[in-house]
Structure 1
Amino acid sequence: MATAAHTLIPSDRQFIYRFDAALSSSMGIGLLVLAGPLANLIGWAPMHTILLSAGIFLLPWALFNWTIGAATGPDRLSLAVNLAGDGLWVLLSAAILILYSAQMTAIGVTFIIAQALAVSVVFAIKRAGLNTLRA
């Protein structure tokens, strides 16, 4: 995965953080606006609350990503917290799938897998570029 991520890293090493900021803010707003209809498509009643919570979380997360992307030399703690947040998102998505996929529709399972894969790719790109950002 790291080899594939190296080929995806743009010459501007902080671009991925600005890109993640755009994705996170879009997804956050989308989840806040569409939590009800998405929860119905996913087919698991608690998903409405999870989607609203994720939408609320993603807005400051987008700002955090933007701040890292705009910094001339992001500090180690910010980079570590950012990677940990992406990793935790993927782990929580996997936990939801393992524990509750039997209660979800096929669309719901696909949605959870797709967003977890997208975050995994962003995580891999960030991780691959980490050493050059810290230099």
Structure 2
Amino acid sequence: MAGTPETDTLSALLDELRILLQGAQVLTSFLIILPFNASFRDLLASERWVYAATFLCSLISLVLLSAPALHHYLRRPMRHPEQFKATATRLVRGGAVLMSLTLVLATRLVAAQVLPGAFAWIAPGAIALLLLGVWWALPLLHERREYGGPKS
């Protein structure tokens, strides 16, 4: 038995979140244990600030990406699926923005430890461009070509 278009869309959204959440959870887990590593004390003050920004972006991203699943659970039975979908979409977009920042900042932390100097700036810049292209520009470009504009 097939569901309604609204329930099919909601199911697809929640399925997509499962993939995003795993990445956010793993990255946040690694970031949580990093300060307890003995070599963390050797980081420069500027690198500690980058770590703090990375950790906060990761935590907030995890909260935003997990919120739709909790909202879905707490709002059963779903009386206003379109309102839920709009809210969930905003939460996912916010979480994805923060996850993008987390990945760029985490790349900066790692690159600064591996090959300080120019590489410590080139690597996160390259990741930022890759994310902008693949996660943001490409889907919007396809959306405009297929439907004449982004969906809300």
* Structure 1 length-normalised TM: 0.49
| Structure with max Cα Rg | 2
Q: TM-score normalised to the size of structure 2?
A: 0.45
